[in-house]
Amino acid sequence: MQAILFDVFGTVVDWRSSLIAQFQALSAELGRELPAETLTDQWRGHYAPSMDQVRSGALPWTVLDDLHRASLVALLAQHGISLDDAMVDRITRFWHRLEPWPDTVDGLRRLQERFVIGTLTNGNLALMVDVKRHAGLPWDVLFCADLFQHYKPDPQVYLGACRLLGLPPQKVMLCAAHNYDLHAARALGLRTAFVPRPKEYGPGQRKDLAAEADWDVVADDLVDLDRKLRDAASA
Amino acid sequence: MQAILFDVFGTVVDWRSSLIAQFQALSAELGRELPAETLTDQWRGHYAPSMDQVRSGALPWTVLDDLHRASLVALLAQHGISLDDAMVDRITRFWHRLEPWPDTVDGLRRLQERFVIGTLTNGNLALMVDVKRHAGLPWDVLFCADLFQHYKPDPQVYLGACRLLGLPPQKVMLCAAHNYDLHAARALGLRTAFVPRPKEYGPGQRKDLAAEADWDVVADDLVDLDRKLRDAASA
């Protein structure tokens, strides 16, 4: 194996806590109570359906920033919250300021000693550059949906990244906290690593609490992934 | 300005010394004298003509690694040097192991404090990932010709990078040691920084010794570029 690509939202960064904190800070700044947790969870609820509209062809190619903005506008209307365009733009960019999980940066640095590390994300590149800089993620390379104009789990994303790396899928591992993503990767020949993030969706999370298949590696977090890959290499 | 993109070969890394050193090390390893300087200079001589064949449509899209390999094969035949395929592959990858100029890493780190920094290179992504890791370059993002299937100075490369960054060209600067590259960037609205690298082509270099237009910034090296941009911001 030569490269490990990572899902980002949920696997590498804690989007939910990061968004809630930013909504709460904005509430304080505006002197106006915004329902931070509800807005965050409902906003994320639009995520998969909005990408499915692109994947099905109902919408032309649209980057995630623009899907986020459109779903935010709908959500604010639903809650009767009126904000001007500049504020809607600013809130849309909450997704550019996400915090890493506690193990993320250390784990990535260790893995980077032996492997090329990069993103394989449905986020657009402009978003992912900001997340990289904000969270201090030491990526070698960013693979983002807008390079391929496809969203995961479309095969073009996984195979496009392998092609650009000049590697056969067997030399590339996807690391994700989501079983659906790993299923798609495995079907195309990539290796797979599952890292559960049981608090990604908050206290009531019910999906992706455990591996749903015999993934090549199942690790507690990214530091543990590095440890397990080193153990396997020296075994 | 929000992002600075860098030409890589010559501007950021000293490809000529790096290749010569690798040819010399290989000569010692093989116990067989290879004309290191001649091979390096003649190989680079194929660079622009080989890309022009792609740019003109005479060749279909071909990544730089493959252009390098084809010109190496021709060059070795010309010199009557017989090497097996694995060795030709290995020498082709000399381009993946290039050393930075002395100011490069320090300059990039300083610039990165205030700007998104990335490549804008005719190298392919797999090559550029290796150069990044070998030379310790702290890129935020890699823009490579194979993302766009065009070579500089085709406008698709410059504008494609701006589009993916979500920035208008006026918010993006190209830094290069080559006037032709800056001319193309300026024509599309990007800002321009010239950094001369008078030893890029060795002791007999005659082109790109000085700025040929009133580029937005002319700096001695990347540390000086950072200094001049900070001075301009505080002026």
**pLDDT values of chain B reduced to their tens digit, one per residue, 235 residues:** 999 999 999 999 999 999 999 999 999 999 999 999 999 999 999 999 999 999 999 999 999 999 999 999 999 999 999 999 999 999 999 999 999 999 999 999 999 999 999 999 999 999 999 999 999 999 999 999 999 999 999 999 999 999 999 999 999 999 999 999 999 999 999 999 999 999 999 998 999 999 999 999 999 999 999 999 999 999 8
Verify whether the Cβ–Cβ distance B142 to A146 is below 8 Å: no
Residues of A in contact with B124 (CB under 8 A): 164, 166
CATH H-level, domain B3-14+98-234: superfamily: HAD superfamily/HAD-like (3.40.50.1000)
Domain residue limits, chain A: 3-14+98-234, 15-96
Q: Say which DSSP state A99 is in.
A: P
Beta-carbon contacts of A162 under 8 Å, excluding residues fewer than 6 positions away, are: A168, A169, A171, A172, A190
Domain at A15-96, CATH from 1.10.510.10, 3.40.50.11820, 1.10.150.240, 1.10.3660.10: 1.10.150.240
Q: Whole-angstrom Cα distance, residue A162 to residue A1?
A: 12
User: What is the number of residues in chain A?
Assistant: 235
Question: Which tokens go with B121?
Answer: 């290179």
The predicted structure's pLDDT at residue A225: 98
The predicted structure's pLDDT at residue B19: 98
A121 within 8 A of A9, measured Cβ to Cβ: yes
Beta-carbon contacts of A80 under 8 Å, excluding residues fewer than 6 positions away, are: none
Verify whether the Cβ–Cβ distance A129 to B165 is below 8 Å: yes
The DSSP string of B82-100 is ---HHHHHHHHGGGGS-EE
| Complex prediction ipTM | 0.96
The predicted structure's pLDDT at residue B228: 98
Question: Which of left, alpha, beta for A208 (phi over 0: left; psi -120 to 50: alpha)?
Answer: left
Cis before residue B102, ω within 30 degrees of 0? Answer: no
The predicted structure's pLDDT at residue A235: 84
Beta-carbon contacts of B41 under 8 Å, excluding residues fewer than 6 positions away, are: B16, B201, B202
Verify whether the Cβ–Cβ distance B164 to A141 is below 8 Å: no
Chain A's closest residue to B125, CA to CA, is A164
Query: In this structure, what are the phi and psi dihedrals at residue A218, rounded to the nearest 5 degrees?
Result: -125, 120
